[in-house]
Each structure stands twice: as structure tokens, then as C-alpha cells.
Chains A and B, each alone.
Chain A
Amino acid sequence: MTGPGEATGPHRATPPAVARRTSRRIVLVHTATFRQARQLVPVAIPALAGIGLGGGRWTVVALVVGITLVSLATAALSWWRFSYLDGPAAVVVTRGLVSRSTRTVPNDRIRGIEIEAPPVHRLLGLVRVRIDAAAGGSTSAGRGAGTDEELLIDGVPRAEAERLRTAVLTKRSHVPAPSPDPLDGGPAQQEPAPEPEEELARFDNRWLLYAPLVGGYLAVPVAAVGALSRIVDELPDRLLPDVDGPSLDSPVVAVLAVVLALVVLAVGAVIGAAVVNWRFRLVRRGGSLIAVRGLLTRRHTELEIDRIRGVAVADGAGMRLVGAARVNGLVTGLGDAQRRGQLLPLGPRAQAEELGRRLVDDPGPLTPHPAAARRRRIARAMTAGLLITVAGAVLTATAGWWPLLVAGVVLTVLGVPLGLGRYASLGHATGPRSFAVRVGWLVRERAVLERRAVVGWQVTQSWAQRRAGLASVVACVGAGRGGYIAMDMAAHDVAAFAVGASEPWATRLVPTPSGEDETNRS
């Protein structure tokens, strides 16, 4: 079953594309990681519970051997039934044990290729290739940016992965050319001369110290502790060491516990950040940006510079204290954009801003929003507290239960600084080729987008905003989160901002000077 398709290094390029298989070594990897066998767990657990674990060493041994065999069998089966083919016009992946599925992705729909090397794969010299494809475009399957699909080719040698990447990306860039005749395939296949690399960012290990102030990394130790406690819960009691409760005074214990928890949080966040971002590097090679990172799993993500529509520089409340920030590229048709679009996962603010400026024109300093926006931000920040206060007042009056009332009052008072902070973040700017909007307090994000990125405008004005002469404007873009808001800007600036931040069609928004509203209404 191996045949000529066994992928070993660079292949002869021109002959009719043959279906290739992944390396046989992947069976070992999948056996060890129970990749396919994992799906059987929901079936296996009730079955085991039915049979019952009679205790005894041999049952356990038999169980381990059995599970490993099942895993080996399923891994071998799925390797046997998997093949892929990078033809001249499309990548085709065939898989499936019982029902065969064939997925064909045209080359011009491929948006990027990611090569990742998890630890077990690395031991055997294999990698995993993810091919990102935009579903849709003109077909009716396309519903916005959220419907991307991907192909996963798990377990090819690194050299084959590189060949695949070059082949697919080269063919793709030739597709829009007017003459897609088969002869074109020959020269296109020749290895292009290695293009010079330019390093845009390199991770400095000292930046790991920022990690304890970033929400996302703080979640790492919390999740780890949660998982650990669940494991401890599952263990039978006789396996747990007999720990006596601490016999110290309780205040001392409480302080110690808090200090210990803080240390664990900080260390865990640093470790988490190190595992994900280890030796992060961002380089520009030809028309692509390539990001490489990871300690255990090395990830190798490639983004086309042509598809970058903007950058988002985010700095949370904690990051602002130490002057840190991170940069995300806003790339059209990128699946899992939060992770793959990262251009600088964590770093000093100045460097983040500099990187952003190198990719997208800087539109200049932000214009703050009018004073009415400050009142509105404060009012909005106090709303939740006020509602709780009212509910608390009702409870106090009817049931004499006052803690909710106190909590409501405290929250209402805290709303004032929160509202001020949120107002301070608001701003927008337009430049000759790009524009910027900024919003948020706990996670503040400044998005800088090219004018051509805008595929629509959405202006909203609530009743309160109309009274205050404000409006919120969302620039709809086919990249990143899909929309970036300029919140509570002066209502009379909206049309000018939209015209200045997108292409000429936006002049449709400009109000006609005198009394046309009345003529239309009649």
C-alpha cells in the first residue's frame, strides 16, 4: 500500500500529481498519543463500568495492553485510509474509515499554511501541516469571515512539508495569471531562489516578566490548578498522602496562602508565556510574514503581506502599568485569527507601535471624543451598579436583606473611575491611507486599518446618544473581528470620518444640506 506516493523529500515536480500518504511513523505518534482512540472514550467508559474493574494487577495490565492495541489499530487504519494530493489547481484530502470523505480546496482559496511540530512529532522528525482555506467568496456557502475551513495533514517529514508549502503557495500565486495552461506548471515548480529575510521582531526573554500582568497568561496557572484538583478528586482516597491540616494560627495561614497563590499565579503565567512564545521570531521573506514560536510545539505560521489589512495594538490595564503591548495582524480570510495573526505576542509598547507602523501607515494621533461621551461612559459604567442598588433596595425593604444594597452602592461608586478610564481610551483618527480607532479599558485595543479594508459602515445611535449628540460607528472589515468601533463620537463628525476612512462610496452617508428629509418624508 506504500507505492510511489510515499513522501520522501522533494519529489519530481511535473508528472501527474499522485496521491501521497503521510509517513508511516505517524502511526507510532498517534498510538502514543491515543489520537484516534480518544474518540472511543465515551463508548469505552460505560463499557468498562459494565464489566467492572475486578481489581488485581492483571486486569490493569490487560487493560493497558488492550487500550494500546486499540489505539495502534485505529491509528494504522486512519493512516491507511488517508491520502492527500496537491494537484495543479487544488489540494485534495481523502480520508474516513467507513464513509470516505474527499475534500477539495482550490489553490486560489488557500489563505495560508501553518507547519507545527508537537513534541512527539519532533522526536520522529515529523510535522503537522494545516492548510487554511477561505470558504465562500462568491459561493453561497460564504457567510462572512467566520466560515473558514482547514485541511490537516498530520505526519509528514519536515522536508515534505516545506515542499508542499512552496508548491501550494507558488501554484496559488500563478492562478490569477491569464494563462493557466499546464506548461506553466513546469517553470513554476522550480525552487525560487531563497529570498532575503528581514527580521521584524525577535522575542527577548526578559519580556516574559510582563506575563503575570496579562489576563490570558494568568489563565494558564488557574487552568492548571483546576485540572490538578480534578485529578486529585478522581484519585482513590488510599492513594492520597495523609496530610494533617495546618496547625498554625489562621491569619498567618491566610496570608501565607494568599502569598503562595500569587507566587504560583505569577510563575505559572511566566511559564505559560514561555511555552507558547519561546524564541518567537517574525521575519519578512518575499511577500510573506513568517512567525515561528513555541517551546514544546514549534509553530511556523505564514501570512501574506498582501492580505494584511491592518494591525491591532492591544494593551490591557495591567500591561499599561508596565508599558507592554501586543500586536495582532488583521488579515483577510484567516481562520483562528486571534492566534495566527499574532505578530508580537508580548513586548514593550514602543516596539509594538514601531512594528505596527512598519506594516500599516500611521494615521497620526487620535482625536478624543466630546465631553458628552465622558458623561455617557460614566453613566453606562454605573448602570449595573444602580440596577443592583435598586434590587437591593427592594430586598432591604421587603425582606430586610441588606448586603446586596451595599454591594450595589460600592459598584455604583466604582463605576465613576471605570467610566473615566473607558472614556480616556476612546479616540479615532484618519490619515491619507489608513485610519485608527481605539476603545476599551480592561483590554484596550487600537486598530489601525487601511482605507481599502472597509467593506461597509454601520452607524448606530441610541435614544440617549441622540439626546447627547453622539453616535457609534462600526467599520466593517473582512479581517480580524469583522468590525471595529469608534464609540460615542460626535454625531456631526460621523459622515466626515467615514468618508475620510474609506473609499469614495462612503459619500452616500453625507447628509444633504437643507431640508431634504422633509421632502422625502412626504
Chain B
Amino acid sequence: MTVAPAPVREPAWSLPRTAIGLWVTESLISALFTLVVVVALLIWVPSDVGGPVPFLRWAVPIVAALEVLVSVAVRPWLKHRVYRWEVTGDAVYTRTGWLSQTWTLVPVSRIQTVDVTRGLLQQLFGLATVAVFTASSQGTVRIWHLEHGVAQRVADDLAVRAERTRDQAT
């Protein structure tokens, strides 16, 4: 893959490595569901039906196996390389995605609400997500999978600074 320069700057900080474990676990759980669907297909759809069914009977399991392989063994590490974040004096900045990447920048002065959420799996790994909301439905920044203490500190700090610097333009 030719490495073209990124369109915008890369945020400074990466996520803790425990996030990889979380992503692997998530992938394993969804792999279980995939497995159930594929097995159900092989058991209950008879092979002697005409049309595309015989083709699907071997195509679907192969695709599913590839998907599981990528999501468990490759994607978590790719994600860990892509997911980055930073909080500076005047803005919150993140990069998310893996094949498709998204950079989101929101100035502290336009922050309306800051939330910290901890999902079930996140609690097992001691992680939390900081969500920063603005007046725009599309202008939401989520900093995924920070260590819980860090997330709480970031959220508190942002909330205080947003309160201080909020302007009325929105």
C-alpha cells in the first residue's frame, strides 16, 4: 500500500494496549453469533434445493471464516495503530477507524456536554469512553477506551474548561 500523507495531522496520544484485548473479546463474541448463523444455514437449508443455494452453502462459510479471522487476529491491532486522541488547550481531537479513518476536531469553546460511559466489557478491562457533545448532531467526539481514571480526569477537565470558555455563537 502506497503511503500517501494523511490529509490532516495525527493526534498525539495512542490508546492503552488493554484496548486490543477488549477489541479481541468483542470480535470473539460476534464470531460466536456468526458461527450460530452459519451452522443453522448448513443444518436447516437442504442442499438439494436448486438455484444459488449449493453455491451459497460453501461460499457463506468461507466468507464468514475469513471475516472472523480478520476481526480477531488483524483488526484489533490495526485499530490500535489508528485510534489516537489528544486534548489540547483549545480543542479535542481524535482519529478512529481502521481501513476507513475519521478525524474529528471539536474546539473546547463549543462543547456542550461531556459524558463518561463504561460498557460491560469496558468495565472488565478497566476502560471507559469519553463522549463530547456539541450543538451539532454530527459534531460528537468519542474518545474510545481510555483507562478509567484517565477518562474521568479528561472529562472533568473538559467540562470545567468548556464552562469557562463557552461562547454564545451556537
Contacts and interface: CB of A to CB of B under 8 A. Distances in A.
B144 to A, nearest CB: 15
Contacts of B97: 460
B101 interface: yes
Contacts of A399: 50-52
Contacts of A146: 137
Given A137-B112, A492-B7, A394 B55 contact: yes
B135 A494 contact: no
B138 A483 contact: yes
B93 A144 contact: no
B132 to A, nearest CB: 9
A469 B112 CA distance: 34
Interface residues of B, number: 47
Interface stretch (B8-16, B18-26, B39-47): B8-16
A145 interface: yes
A508 B136 contact: no
A511 to B, nearest CB: 5
Interface stretch (A30-38, A338-346, A449-457): A449-457
Nearest to B13: A520
B52 A456 contact: no
Interface string A430-455: 00000000000000000000001101
Interface stretch (B68-76, B103-111, B118-126, B148-156): B103-111
Contact of A394 (B10, B52, B88, B115): B52
A398 B52 contact: yes
Interface in A324-339: 332-333
Given A142-B112, A332-B170, A455-B139, A469 B4 contact: yes
A455 B110 contact: yes
A145 B8 contact: no
A127 B27 CA distance: 57
Interface stretch (A95-103, A294-302, A363-371, A472-480): A472-480
B141 interface: yes
Interface residues of A, number: 54
Contacts, number: 167
Nearest to B97: A460
Contact of B9 (A461, A478, A491, A495): A495
A491 B137 CA distance: 25
Nearest to B113: A140
Contacts of B169: 452-453
B57 to A, nearest CB: 12
B92 to A, nearest CB: 9
Nearest to B134: A455
A482 interface: yes
B117 interface: no
A14 interface: no
Contact of A456 (B9, B90, B104): B104
Best-surrounded residue of B1, B2, B55, B170 (most CB of chain A within 10 A):
B170
A357 interface: no
Interface in A128-159: 136-140, 142-146
A244 interface: no
A511 B105 CA distance: 13
Given A138-B112, A467-B2, A471-B7, A455 B107 contact: yes
Given A505-B109, A510-B9, A460 B101 contact: yes
B133 A495 contact: no
Best-surrounded residue of A136, A456, A503 (most CB of chain B within 10 A):
A456
A505 B134 CA distance: 15
A509 interface: yes
A462 B105 contact: no
A474 B140 CA distance: 12
A136 B112 contact: yes
- The 4 A-B residue pairs with the shortest CB-CB distance, nearest first, are A478-B135, A476-B139, A483-B138, A456-B139
5 contacts: A463-B99, A483-B137, A491-B5, A494-B8, A511-B5
Interface of B: 1-2, 4-10, 12, 50-52, 54-55, 88, 90-91, 93, 97, 99-107, 109-110, 112-113, 115, 133-141, 163, 166, 169-170
Interface of A: 136-140, 142-146, 332-333, 394-395, 398-399, 452-453, 455-463, 466-467, 469, 471, 474, 476-479, 482-483, 491-492, 494-495, 498, 503, 505-506, 508-512, 516-517, 520
